[in-house]
Structure 1
Amino acid sequence: MKITIIAGARPNFMKIAPIIEAIATASEQGAEINYRLVHTGQHYDKKMSQDFFEQLGIPEPHANLEAGGGTQAEQTANIMVRFEQELLANPADLVLVVGDVTSTMACSIVAKKLNTKVAHVEAGIRSGDMTMPEEINRIVTDSITDYFFTTSEVANNNLRNSGINEDRIFFVGNTMIDTLLKQMPNFKQPEIWKRASLEQGQYFVLTLHRPANVDQDQQLKVLLQEIVNLSQGLPIVFPVHPRTATMLSKIGVEAPNLHLIEPLSYLEFNYLVQKAKAVVTDSGGITEETTVMGIPCLTLRESTERPETCTIGTNELLGTDPNALQPAMEKLFSGNWKKGQIPELWDGKTSQRLIKHLLNLIEPELVA
């Protein structure tokens, strides 16, 4: 079985690393399976890409499409044109895509038009927010996918409700948590730890990049001021996403306890998360990691595609109104934040289950 694995952007890398490892293990045990890793180049900044490959032990990609940036349409078109050439030159039995970035959707479309089967890892998640490019990517990808590998029963139900047959849905767990659990012993203290005199449980980690929070200068300014005002003077470490840096330079919010830093590597960032008092974010993936690490998470979004982090885990969805921060911070400082539990099958063995299913699915078809 020949599998082409797609990696496009930072959120993908944590998800493909354990899948590649599981393929290598299966091959060593006699399974006829190999892979070709294609990096689309959607994220081309070293901190956003190359560091992850090095730290997570991901082999060098067999191909880098170097699709680069541009608008949503330009990036999608570049990836599709270049991946079509790649797949024609190197045919596969299956194209495996992960997550919900532009590369996920673009490569799925190319594969299906070349009559190649598609497996979607992290299928079925939905936020219900059609203003998010990621939501469109999810819906389009799942509308043409052959095999759906899911992280939760919520995702399973989303797929069932859209008419997907049960025999194409495989509840395997969360590959990103495979990586998290494996890498925990390797977390690395970042330079900001000593520079800001951080202490365990006595600082916040902040990440913001969603358009609803960072594209309007007044919204971003009020959010930051409110977070600073409610932090009781504890340090706030804010690794600044490139998207956010441009707007921050315009609004000029400063505070003695607000530390704006460059994006961190995976091992450094999660070192901070694991030891933080809480995380304030508008990310999706970070809410999964905080849930597994038992760290309170305050999410500044109106909806989430990962509701299990709220119903089971340590996450609370606050919305984008800065006024929602005060009661949440009061609950946090009073010691009344929920403890949370780890969702089913988020156990570090997801990738093994996933590859076992793929072998059972594809091998009989190849023989036939």
Structure 2
Amino acid sequence: MITNHKLYRNKMSKKIVTVIGARPQFVKAAVVSRAINLHNKSLTKRDNWIEEKIIHTGQHFDNNMSEIFFKQMEIPKPDFNLEINSMSHGAMTGNMLMEIEKVLLLEKPDWVLVYGDTNSTIAGALAAKKLHIKVAHVEAGLRSFNMQMPEEVNRILTDRISDLLFCPTESAVQNLMDEGYASLSPKIVQCGDVMNDAAIYYKNLAVKPHGIDLDANLVLSTIHRQENTDNPKKLKNIFDGLAEISKINQVVLPLHPRTSKMLKEYGITPSKNIRIIEPVGYFEMIWLLMNSICVITDSGGLQKEAFFFDKPCITVREETEWTELIEHGVNFLVGSNKDLMIKTFNQILNGHIDFNLNLYGDGHTGKQIVQELISFE
């Protein structure tokens, strides 16, 4: 068994630079990093070793939203910390592009691996492509069809310049086909969802967050998306809806720093019935999911995580990338409509939802991603 890859790297080995920066990407990267580690441990000869270098852009820099994930999920410590945050989209993306390029020139990887739809995603993909380094995009093909969302712009552009597109669902593949990718060069792989791998692997490590005095039947909420936080009317409507629901069931809301800032700026005071807590680690979030009756969120990732734990989800957005969840009646779009939020919540309480669906793979997505990276010609 190989014990020191640095001594054995040869032309058949691969070097991958992984670019991450936001909370969901830490979770996704943990799955693939673990798959890389298991792959390397399984080798009995020098061929096909994978060396991974991790760039943390710093997009999420708060301890509860960054460092804690590396500790809890045993993600390898980042080799490069860029500490780029608290800027406009253009300034942040530009600075990331410049600094990531420096790392790539130093490391000379075979692949740059990016996740999702953040500024870190597009910056990593652009830096690699301009240096003629192959790009692999995890969560390719997702579309909200709302070009006002920065995330939509990021994911479309990243897909277009990637060499290997890892699609989590059939609808993601179909989106790419509708955009003409059948006649383009990237390889498309429907591999399932890395977040499903994470849910399966980590669910037994769930930890009750400090200060939570309930054991079950809570409503878990997260609000952070710019389309909501930067619109005082929308933000007030959402928190008014949460206030009404909190009269029926305890609402627990890990408060994103951006949301906290904008609530203060707009003079919006959340109801005292809403249990606001600091952002939590992934294991604490799993506990909250497992002990909830419903999720109310504008997060893309949490919509899926709700499904993984058989929880109905109310999405306070006008659209979602995860259209299959809407089509199968496990997720409900309500926008910032307070009355529709409350009506939907009451229907969920009094109804039955079937979660016996296989939408996101068999829990071996990380392994498939690693194999594709090795075998790609």
- TM-score bracket relative to the smaller structure: over 0.9
Q: Distance in 2 between matches of 1:157 and 1:254?
A: 41
Q: Distance in 2 between matches of 1:231 and 1:187?
A: 24
Letter in 2 for 1:258: I
Residue 244 of structure 1: aligned partner: 259
Residue 10 of structure 1: aligned partner: 23
Residue 280 of structure 1: aligned partner: 296
| 1:267 pairs with 2:280 | no
Q: 4+ residue stretches of structure 1 with deviation over 4 A?
A: none
Letter in 1 for 2:142: I
Residue 138 of structure 1: aligned partner: 155
Count matched residues. Answer: 357
- Aligned pairs for 1:219-234 (under 5 A) are 219-234=234-249
Decide which of 19, 22, 25 is 2:38's aligned counterpart: 25
- Aligned-partner SS, 1:325: helix
Residue 162 of structure 1: aligned partner: 179
- Aligned-partner SS, 1:118: strand
Distance 1:344 1:296, change over 3 A: closer
Decide which of 68, 85, 104 is 1:51's aligned counterpart: 68
Q: Which moved more, 1:75-84 or 1:167-176?
A: 167-176
Distance 1:146 1:279, change over 3 A: same
Q: Which moved more, 1:42-51 or 1:251-260?
A: 251-260
Q: Distance in 2 between matches of 1:223 and 1:344?
A: 29
Q: Which runs of 5+ in 1 are unaligned?
A: none
Q: Distance in 2 between matches of 1:230 and 1:48?
A: 27
- Aligned pairs for 1:20-169 (under 5 A) are 20-30=33-43, 31-165=48-182, 168-169=187-188
Q: Distance in 2 between matches of 1:255 and 1:47?
A: 24
- Aligned pairs for 1:205-224 (under 5 A) are 205-224=220-239
Q: Which runs of 5+ in 2 are unaligned?
A: 1-13
- Aligned-partner SS, 1:290: helix
- Aligned-partner SS, 1:165: helix
| 1:174 pairs with 2:174 | no
Residue 6 of structure 2: aligned partner: none
Whether contact under 8 Å (1:148, 1:170) holds in the other structure is yes
TM-superposition CA deviations, 1:173-222 (whole Å, max 9, x none): 1112211211100010012322xxx1312x21111112332223333223
TM-superposition CA deviations, 1:152-178 (whole Å, max 9, x none): 000001111222238711011111221
Q: Distance in 2 between matches of 1:137 and 1:222?
A: 28
Decide which of 191, 202, 205 is 1:186's aligned counterpart: 205
Quick one: percent identity of the two aligned structures? 36
Whether contact under 8 Å (2:191, 2:368) holds in the other structure is yes
- Aligned-partner SS, 1:108: helix
Letter in 2 for 1:13: F
Decide which of 257, 281, 284 is 2:273's aligned counterpart: 257
Letter in 1 for 2:353: K
Q: Which moved more, 1:182-191 or 1:28-37?
A: 28-37
Whether contact under 8 Å (1:313, 1:342) holds in the other structure is no
Q: Distance in 2 between matches of 1:51 and 1:69?
A: 20
CA RMSD of aligned residues (A): 1.7
| 1:359 pairs with 2:374 | yes
Whether contact under 8 Å (2:56, 2:80) holds in the other structure is yes
Q: In the TM superposition, what is the alpha-carbon distance from 1:313 to its structure 2 partner?
A: 6.4
| 1:319 pairs with 2:319 | no
What is the TM-score with the length of structure 2 in the denominator? 0.90
Q: Which moved more, 1:163-172 or 1:180-189?
A: 163-172
- Aligned-partner SS, 2:63: coil
Q: Distance in 1 between matches of 2:155 and 2:354?
A: 30
What is the TM-score with the length of structure 1 in the denominator? 0.93
Letter in 2 for 1:228: A
Q: Distance in 2 between matches of 1:312 and 1:332?
A: 14
Letter in 1 for 2:375: N
